[in-house]
């Protein structure tokens, strides 16, 4: 395996991580809510009850962020090597996993770990382990 050093982007990754942490901190400090995207999306789809508009605002921010980014730097080229069927299956499996895991990587990995939650540590280790195993199987078993 070789590393494409020209694609190594530590500064933009660091800035992105800092912005994610800042957004999560602002949301919990000023709204008392966890920045778990699956929970925010599920809540937005269920109802727009009193006080629920923060969910739409948060999701809108996720959609607008790349537009703001591209004002300063070009967006990286997308390269998806899976067909529509695989993407739909993957999305379905991720959705099921977030329901069974009581949250997603952003809720557990960013917010839960920062609160020293043991449940979030186990969930994050499970997410990461499943990801490592999937990549290993796809790269070394199926494409040997």
Q: What is the pLDDT of residues 29-78, one digit of tens each?
A: 988 888 888 888 888 888 766 667 888 888 999 899 899 989 998 888 88
Looking at the whole model, is its pTM more than 0.75? Answer: no
The parent domain of residue 84 ranges over 5-142
Pick the closest to residue 101 from 109, 76, 57, 68 (CA basis): 109
- Which of 6 and 119 is assigned the larger pLDDT? 119
pLDDT at 125: 93
Number of domains composing the chain:
1
Residues 87-110, mean pLDDT to the nearest whole number: 85
Confidence band for 13, pLDDT divided at 50, 70 and 90: confident
- The rounded distance, in Å, linking the Cα atoms of 88 and 96 is 12
Please answer whether residues 135 and 117 qualify as being in contact, where contact means their C-beta atoms are separated by less than 8 angstroms: no
pLDDT at 132: 92
């Amino acid at each position: 395996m070789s590393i494409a050093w020209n694609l190594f982007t530590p500064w933009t990754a660091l800035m992105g991580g800092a912005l994610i942490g800042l957004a999560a901190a602002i949301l919990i400090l000023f709204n008392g809510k966890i920045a778990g995207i699956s929970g925010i999306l599920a809540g937005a789809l269920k109802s727009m009850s009193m006080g629920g508009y923060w969910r739409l605002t948060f999701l809108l921010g996720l959609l607008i962020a790349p537009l703001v980014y591209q004002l300063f730097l070009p967006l990286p080229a997308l390269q998806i090597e899976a067909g529509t069927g695989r993407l739909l299956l993957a999305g379905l499996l991720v959705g099921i996993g977030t329901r069974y895991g009581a949250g997603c990587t952003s809720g557990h990995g960013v917010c839960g770990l920062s609160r020293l939650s043991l449940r979030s540590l186990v969930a994050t280790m499970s997410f990461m382990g499943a990801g490592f195993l999937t990549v290993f199987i796809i790269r070394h078993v199926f494409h040997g």
